[in-house]
Chain A
Amino acid sequence: MVLDAFDYPIELHAQEPGSRLVLGDGVYIGGGSSIEAVVSVTIGARSRLGSFTKVMDNHFHPLWGNRHFKPPSVPVVVGEDVEIGSRAILMAGAEVGNGAIVRAGAVITRRARVPPFGKAYGLPAVVDD
């Protein structure tokens, strides 16, 4: 496992007691990345995250009502051998299949499920099989 915090620090944050943040074997994480787990974030073996990526399983504020209320979390699952580009954002409920590619700057939400060996790019994300 390589956490490349040479230029910018990396934030791995399991926020509450019982939060699970699982990094598989041989995972590479680029500088400036931030992974925040309130319930569960899983990164499969040999996946690569570029620099300044953000992975979070909670939106932390609701779109309506009291904005200081934290909405429920949805686990994020990233498969094995996944390539995630720089500045990509994986939001609550994101699922990325084994061997998939998430291009730089893409934003993956629970609506855009990336199948195994699929490709995703853009905002809102476009997914190619």
Chain B
Amino acid sequence: MTDQITTPAGTSLATELRRVLQLLAKDPAAAQTRIRRGIGVLRARWVFRRCHRGHLVNVLGSVHVVADGTVTLGDRVQFWEGMIPLVLHCAKGAELSIGTLSVFNYGSFLRADRSVRIGERCMFGSMVHIHDHSRERTAPIVIADDVWVAHGAVIEPGVTIGEGSVVAAGSVVTSDVPPFSLAVGNPAKTSPLPAKERHSSKNADP
């Protein structure tokens, strides 16, 4: 896992720097984006140094990590920049895994006291709260692939969210959400998404 420093393009740091300098003359905005991403990837190496992380995990904002248990991050997981830091806490003996291409906005709170599993290509809005432990119970949270959790949603212990579902902004999810459904409200009620509304991000650009 800890090999020589490579860059988003998989080249060496020197090659990448030369390339960015060339780009800086031609297209400053593109060069800036590339530098920002490069710094994000290097930052992720430091922030997630005690975690199993995939290729090109990107930390653009500030992330507080406590990895006493097993944290697994897939390829190209992104943590976006914002005004409030994201908290990722995995207690001793617990398991926290995040699938490929999942994206987190700022200010989210993820804490695993037993097990939190997040699938591939999920999107998390800002200030989302996911914790698998409360005073009454500790139960694993499972979030399947292609789930979109919007701003300020809270996911309670023991909840399983099915593939392709959407959790609306501000919702509090207390029970399981079937695949391809929309969960709204406090406590959240689910309704199926029409077949045409199922999103197909598998072919989309990351």
Contact = CB atoms under 8 A, between A and B. Distances in A.
Contacts of A8: 83-84
Contact of B171 (A9, A62, A91, A123): A123
B136 interface: no
Interface string B74-92: 0000000011100000000
Q: What band does the interface of chain A fall in when counting residues whose beta carbon is under 8 Å from B?
A: 20 to 34
B170 A123 contact: yes
B137 interface: no
Interface stretch (A17-25, A42-50, A65-73): A65-73
B169 A63 contact: no
A63 B180 CA distance: 10
B18 to A, nearest CB: 31
B148 interface: yes
B169 A107 contact: yes
Nearest to B185: A123
Interface string B173-206: 0000000001011100000011011111100110
B151 interface: yes
Contact of B199 (A32, A67, A107): A67
A64 B169 contact: no
